[in-house]
Structure 1
């Protein structure tokens, strides 16, 4: 087993209400993250790819890396990286077309393994999820032992490896799963929580992206210890609604529950064009198939939404979005297309070429009145 275990109380809040928090049972949260999931599935299914730098995605000039094997990551290849950049970093990189149906099937296998231990599963994507095992179906007291069993079962049933983080809240469990990747297990017990956080760069915190990291750095906040030194008032003034979240995670405190009823918030699609688009008619022609793809996915899932968002990425990689909400759920493709095209038209005339267009539907609701689990997209 990798990692450490221990007991003690969670880094407790010092404000009113701490007594109530202390009275509650100590939560046991596991974060499971599959290692280079898409690329690992491809290497599993094609022995010729094993041990070689692999990227799942398109090799064309406008292609993007969807996932990279660990062999490719050694060269600096990362997901969401333009394919031309990836090839420049790793000339021997092998591109493989994604097989999302296969990835979904494997993901369902993994979800079944999780459900043997707990019904409280919050999928984040096809390859990662939170599990609350405070009270589990097998009556196992040790969350670390459960994580070990799940990782072993995933290896046996799928031939793939998973990393796991175990802690008393979601924030720390997520950090822990990254700490021993790949194929690792790390445990952050309550007595270690605050100290573990203070030693890390804020850029490694889940929920703090590159832009926020840069802003924090400008304010002199580079580590968890620096973040903890800031007052709640200061963080709220500079980061708005996220301020309280940053204040508490710097102290190892995160009271968000694992939500078994987590639903998809939006459904969308996008396309990167082989050549930049400059006029509305060309954009409209390329936009039709994207609209069709999203609407077909809504039809299959039996869901509808109220808010349409159009995404535009320019040749210089500047990105904008335009959104509009209908008073009620959009029930027909024609209405969806009209709103999407009106939003698209609002960005023309374009000051520079457009390389990518996307559209999504949010504020989703179930139109089939089926159980919640059937709407869940992910594991």
Structure 2
């Protein structure tokens, strides 16, 4: 294990709910749950007062109200969450250039090169916590450890408003009693498969046969064994140097299940426009188009096609995904739709040679310029007039800049 590194993981506490409580003092100290604006919504985040009653992310509002009748439901203000998140990440950059945004409310910092300037890691952590509290009225939990895996583990140990440090010399003893489910990267499915092998603690995992782990988990087996030993050599990757984005996508859970093809086509056009807008903004095109469908019973599948030429015009993306839809025999009402382009290439700024192609490209550029200046859907397709925009959800892949920065409502 690389003991010379000092990694900090920051996790904002009940971020969405805390932002709402800070904005409205009447909500402070009360059980609050943030929900979406659609008819079919779930709990996005619950305040710690609500969590004490068992309310958690992913619950339906009916389930949450049954557990906590006095629960206050608040429609999320995603623009405000992304605004505050960006400001927090900018502030973190004052302590080290090595800041990796993990999600809208989490980040890793490599403090190894910053200690001589700012002092001990715990001093930096307390300064970060104080600045976030003073500027935004919010709390966070921080973990400090020799690597990202352990720093994430540490930040979960004391919530809310915690600060936990795992020195290198304490790693072995900590792993002896830590349940495998506490490690980032081991979800419920992997946990069950490991328990089938008799593995329930990190100590069990770290001492288990590599050969058997590889037989059951393939190449991931060796990585799992290292995780059980608290080993993680992965670097903190600043957002500006993240691995190149492989696709541009957008999906939406529908307010009600759809069976009518015309209604399905409207949502596909809307999603195609959202994907096309982001692709054009960052001057990229995709040769492969993917359509994702989730049925009412949560069965999910995708269909894709690789085209002769890359595309990023919304109409072209729409025609490609509707062609994929036409190949399917739908057997159930649709709950979710998703559109993506991948196999990305750089988009030339040169106008197409043929007049019709040039006209369509110029039209897209004109629409983009108006929408950039006056707001999304200021100009849109006629069939989408009055249609609610799908930009309700902040995806886990969201980042504060670049092509992953989806402009949410």
**TM-score of the superposed pair, with normalisation by structure 1:** 0.84
Q: Distance in 2 between matches of 1:365 and 1:181?
A: 44
Distance 1:112-1:202 versus aligned 2 partners, 3 A rule: same
Which segment is superposed worse, 267-276 or 323-332? 323-332
Superposed CA deviations along residues 329-361 of structure 1, whole A, max 9, x for unmatched, are: 533223322333234444x32332222222234
SS at the partner of 1:32? strand
Q: 1:150 aligns with which of 128, 150, 153?
A: 128
Q: Distance in 1 between matches of 2:16 and 2:217?
A: 35
Q: 1:335 aligns with which of 316, 327, 331?
A: 316
**Are positions 1:121 and 2:148 aligned together?**
no
Superposed CA deviations along residues 203-247 of structure 1, whole A, max 9, x for unmatched, are: 221011121112222222222122123222211211122212111
Residues 275-314 of structure 1 correspond to what in structure 2 (within 5 A)?
275-314=256-295
Superposed displacement of residue 155, structure 1: 0.9
Q: Conserved in 2, the CA contact under 8 Å of 1:116 and 1:137?
A: no
* Number of residue pairs matched by the alignment: 354
Q: Could you say which residue in structure 1 is the equivalent of 2:333?
A: 353
Q: Conserved in 2, the CA contact under 8 Å of 1:198 and 1:225?
A: yes
Q: 1:315 aligns with which of 291, 296, 304?
A: 296
Distance 1:120-1:236 versus aligned 2 partners, 3 A rule: same
Q: Distance in 2 between matches of 1:84 and 1:32?
A: 32
**Are positions 1:257 and 2:284 aligned together?**
no
Q: Conserved in 1, the CA contact under 8 Å of 2:16 and 2:45?
A: yes
Which segment is superposed worse, 180-189 or 235-244? 235-244
Distance 1:310-1:76 versus aligned 2 partners, 3 A rule: farther
Q: Conserved in 2, the CA contact under 8 Å of 1:304 and 1:364?
A: yes
Q: Could you say which residue in structure 1 is the equivalent of 2:217?
A: 239
Distance 1:317-1:92 versus aligned 2 partners, 3 A rule: farther
Which segment is superposed worse, 254-263 or 279-288? 279-288
Superposed displacement of residue 177, structure 1: 0.6
SS at the partner of 1:352? coil
Q: Distance in 1 between matches of 2:323 and 2:175?
A: 47
Distance 1:90-1:351 versus aligned 2 partners, 3 A rule: farther
Q: Distance in 1 between matches of 2:81 and 2:90?
A: 14
Q: Distance in 2 between matches of 1:106 and 1:363?
A: 33
**Are positions 1:210 and 2:237 aligned together?**
no
Q: Could you say which residue in structure 2 is the equivalent of 1:269?
A: 250
Q: Could you say which residue in structure 2 is the equivalent of 1:105?
A: 83
Q: Conserved in 2, the CA contact under 8 Å of 1:59 and 1:95?
A: no
Q: 2:200 aligns with which of 197, 222, 238?
A: 222
Q: Conserved in 2, the CA contact under 8 Å of 1:305 and 1:329?
A: yes
SS at the partner of 2:321? helix
Superposed displacement of residue 103, structure 1: 1.3
Q: Distance in 2 between matches of 1:365 and 1:80?
A: 36
Q: Distance in 2 between matches of 1:173 and 1:67?
A: 23
Q: Distance in 2 between matches of 1:79 and 1:173?
A: 23
Q: Conserved in 1, the CA contact under 8 Å of 2:275 and 2:314?
A: no
Superposed displacement of residue 308, structure 1: 3.7
Larger radius of gyration: 2
Q: Could you say which residue in structure 1 is the equivalent of 2:176?
A: 198
Superposed displacement of residue 303, structure 1: 4.5
**TM-score of the superposed pair, with normalisation by structure 2:** 0.78
Q: Conserved in 2, the CA contact under 8 Å of 1:61 and 1:83?
A: no
Q: Conserved in 2, the CA contact under 8 Å of 1:279 and 1:349?
A: no
**Are positions 1:36 and 2:36 aligned together?**
no
Q: Distance in 1 between matches of 2:72 and 2:231?
A: 42
Q: Conserved in 1, the CA contact under 8 Å of 2:45 and 2:56?
A: yes
SS at the partner of 2:156? helix
Distance 1:136-1:238 versus aligned 2 partners, 3 A rule: same
